[in-house]
Each structure stands twice: as C-alpha cells, then as structure tokens.
Amino acid sequence: MGVEPYAEKGFDLGLAKVEGGYVVEVGSDKGKQVVDDNKGLFKPATENHLSQRKALRDKTREIVEKQSREYKPATTWQDLMSKVYEDSTWARNVETCVECGACLFICPTCQCFLLYDQ
C-alpha cells in the first residue's frame, strides 16, 4: 500500500517505547497543545533515543515486509482495482456488511471507516 507500519500523519501524538521512556512525536496542533500544557512531563529526545526509535521502526518494517511478501500483487493496487471495480464480488459481500470496519484493518483503502477514537 506504500505506507509505513507506523503513523506518519493523521495523529496527535506518536509514542515509541525506548530505553528509559518514550519518544513522543507531535503530529497535530492538538498534540502540540498537550505537550505545551504539560512541559514538565517532557524533555528533548537524545540522539540515542531517536536511533532506538529508528531501529525499532526498521525492524517492524522488515517484519511486515517479510510477512506480506507472498501477498504482493504483480500490478499496482490502482490497476488491480480498476480491473475488478464492477466485479459481482462487491455486491455479494455488501449484502451482509454490518459496517464494522474490520476489513479496513486488512486492506485500508476505503474512506468510509465509521469507527474513530475520541
């Protein structure tokens, strides 16, 4: 899907567990406000902390790529979808859909996801 196995955008605060605590990444104005309102709880991340986060992300990416290797399509997702867009499978599956959104955890291509955190 061309995405990383960690949030790159669309989040308030991103946390990565490192030795001695967490690296907290601000991803929105709301997240920045939380950090600003609680400055005593935060201190700048060290180079060591950032390298630990990078190593963790690299390891996670490697695991996901290894697990997904056998499912990689021979064509782009856009080409694949354009070929099956009118397929009867969609109509057949939507008849029993209860809009739980579980399918999006497998294939996050749809924008009609109803569940959200508050």
Residue 109 confidence (pLDDT): 60
Domain tally for the chain? 2
How far apart are alpha carbons 52 and 33 in whole angstroms?
26
Model confidence band, residue 113 (pLDDT cutoffs 50, 70, 90): very low
- Which uninterrupted H or E stretch holds 14? strand 13-18
User: Over the stretch 62-103, which tens digit does the pLDDT of each residue have?
Assistant: 998 888 888 777 888 788 888 888 888 888 888 888 877 777
Is there a single domain that holds both residue 54 and residue 2?
yes
Residue 34 confidence (pLDDT): 97
Residue 2 confidence (pLDDT): 66
Is there a single domain that holds both residue 101 and residue 65?
no
**Residue 25, beta-bridge partner list:** 14
- Give the DSSP letter string of 59-82: HHHHHHHHHHGGG--SS-HHHHHH
Are 38 and 12 in contact by the 8 Å Cβ rule? The answer is no
Is there a single domain that holds both residue 58 and residue 10?
yes
How far apart are alpha carbons 36 and 56 in whole angstroms?
27
Is there a single domain that holds both residue 65 and residue 88?
no
Is there a single domain that holds both residue 49 and residue 90?
no
Residue 93 belongs to what domain range? 74-118
Residue 53 exposed, middle or buried by CB count within 10 Å (0-12, 13-18, 19+) = buried
Is there a single domain that holds both residue 62 and residue 94?
no
User: Over the stretch 5-27, which tens digit does the pLDDT of each residue have?
Assistant: 888 888 999 999 999 999 999 99
Is there a single domain that holds both residue 48 and residue 78?
no
What pTM does this model have?
Answer: 0.62
Q: Which residue has the higher pLDDT, 65 or 108?
A: 65
Is there a single domain that holds both residue 68 and residue 82?
no
Is there a single domain that holds both residue 6 and residue 61?
yes
Is there a single domain that holds both residue 31 and residue 47?
yes
